């Protein structure tokens, strides 16, 4: 009986010691966020391009000659798309500038017709017109609020 108590106490002491120790943190897993692995964006883009090509080569069972041709075709597409997107960006800048010029011109014309008080009222009533229509739709502003006063059916 005493032997059992001694063994039980010894087991509890060992278990207590084991539980009292703080577990070591798990080993750090590498970060696979891409951009953190490479020192600069160009190196990261190049590595991603290589990985995509490798996946395509495996999935399509490309021969080395096909791989070279596909890589050339995709590089050509990338260059053309980059140029096209730069043109779109430039066109959008020009469209924004033209829109702003028309808005200012309209404001000046209205200021010649309306009193300063009326201009302030107009600016309070029409802030939605300064936003592009697609933004108004996303913001749930496609309908203007009803004008103040009696509603339909009031006599």
Hey, where are the domains in the chain? 41-138
- State the residue for tokens 């697609």: 134
Q: Compute how many other C-beta atoms are within 10 angstroms of the C-beta atom of residue 49.
A: 14
Residues 124-128, mean pLDDT to the nearest whole number: 75
Q: Is the pLDDT of residue 148 over 60?
A: no
- The C-alpha atoms of residue 133 and residue 144 are separated, in whole angstroms, by 12
Instruction: Specify the pTM.
Output: 0.46
Task: Judge whether 32 and 39 are in contact, CB under 8 Å.
Answer: no
User: Would the pLDDT of 128 be above 80?
Assistant: no
pLDDT at residue 136 above 50?
Answer: no
Q: How confident is the model at residue 154 (pLDDT cuts 50, 70, 90)?
A: very low
Band (pLDDT 50/70/90 cuts) for residue 105 is very high
pLDDT at 69 over 70: yes
Collapse the DSSP code of 84 into the 3-class scheme (helix H, G, I; strand E, B; otherwise coil) and give the result: helix
pLDDT of 135 higher than 50: no
Neighbouring residues of 131: CB distance < 8 A, sequence distance ≥ 6:
139, 141
Residue 12 has pLDDT above 50, yes or no: yes
Instruction: Output phi, psi for 139, to 5 deg.
Output: -90, 0
Q: Is the pLDDT of residue 75 over 60?
A: yes
* Residue 141: band (very low, low, confident or very high) from pLDDT cuts 50, 70, 90: very low
Q: Taking 70 as the threshold, does the pLDDT of residue 100 lie above it?
A: yes
Q: CA of 145: how far to CAs of 140, 141, 142, 148, 152, in Å?
A: 12, 9, 10, 9, 14
The pLDDT of residue 127 is above 60: yes
| Structure confidence at residue 63 (pLDDT) | 95
């Amino acid at each position: 009986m005493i032997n059992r108590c001694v063994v039980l106490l010894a087991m509890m002491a060992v278990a207590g010691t084991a539980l009292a120790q703080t577990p070591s943190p798990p080993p750090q897993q590498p970060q696979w966020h891409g951009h953190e692995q490479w020192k600069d964006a160009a190196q990261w883009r190049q590595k991603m391009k290589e990985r995509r090509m490798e996946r395509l080569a495996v999935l399509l069972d490309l021969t080395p000659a096909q791989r070279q041709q596909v890589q050339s075709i995709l590089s050509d597409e990338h260059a053309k798309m980059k140029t096209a997107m730069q043109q779109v960006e430039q066109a959008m800048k020009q469209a924004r500038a033209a829109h702003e010029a028309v808005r200012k011109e309209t404001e000046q014309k209205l200021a010649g017709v309306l009193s300063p008080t009326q201009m302030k009222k107009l600016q309070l009533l029409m802030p939605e017109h300064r936003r592009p229509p697609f933004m108004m739709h996303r913001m749930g502003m496609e309908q203007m609020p009803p004008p103040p006063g009696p509603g339909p059916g009031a006599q």
